[in-house]
Structure 1
Amino acid sequence: MSGLAIVVDDLAGPEVAALLAEHLDDMRASSPPESTHALGLEALRRSDVTFWTVWDDHVLLGFGALRELDPSHGETSRCGRRPRTRASAWGRRWSGTSSRRRPGAATGG
């Protein structure tokens, strides 16, 4: 049985920084500069961004982020993921997680 978990992450782990760097390098290599809108490590640590990582037991599979635009609107980022996981089920779980409100976000009336 898989220990798949999606957790809010503080971006402190070296494996997270390494996968983010790999993701940014891949985006820059495969997209024109005007189409590369990925956030770097420091930008992802901003208070208006919630960052999630996806783990299978102790193996980092991928990540995603949600930036709060205002209390009732947000913008999800493209998921970064290990190439071997691109056809796996965790992307479906991420979609459900990222569509929920940011922790601590105000609820609309």
Structure 2
Amino acid sequence: MTFDDLRTYCLSKPATTESLPFDETTLVFKVAGKMFALSDMDARPVRVSLKCDPERAAQLREEYDAIEAAFHMSKRHWNTVTFDGSLRNAMLRELIDHSYELVASGLPKAIRATLNQLPAES
């Protein structure tokens, strides 16, 4: 998966926006204003920080060298995934989905009810 693939996939999610709130290269993806992924556009290999269930986050770090605790984030809830070719694209998409769904599930009920009716950013 390339950075462009990551960006396209994240933006395909309902109510997702992107912004550069920290600096000129750290792209942040949000669902209804809440961050679910961030990635340095210039980093090679591509790396993305994703929210994760705490138990699963720890398990993934133990199982995969390409997954580690996220820098400058809650180590309990965030992992950084390096796209070094060791993880299949299907798994990368599943980890992005998990992060999105985890964040979306914490949104107010009224917003959650409208997510699938809202378009992703074009």
Question: TM-score, length-normalised on structure 1?
Answer: 0.29
TM-score of the superposed pair, with normalisation by structure 2: 0.27
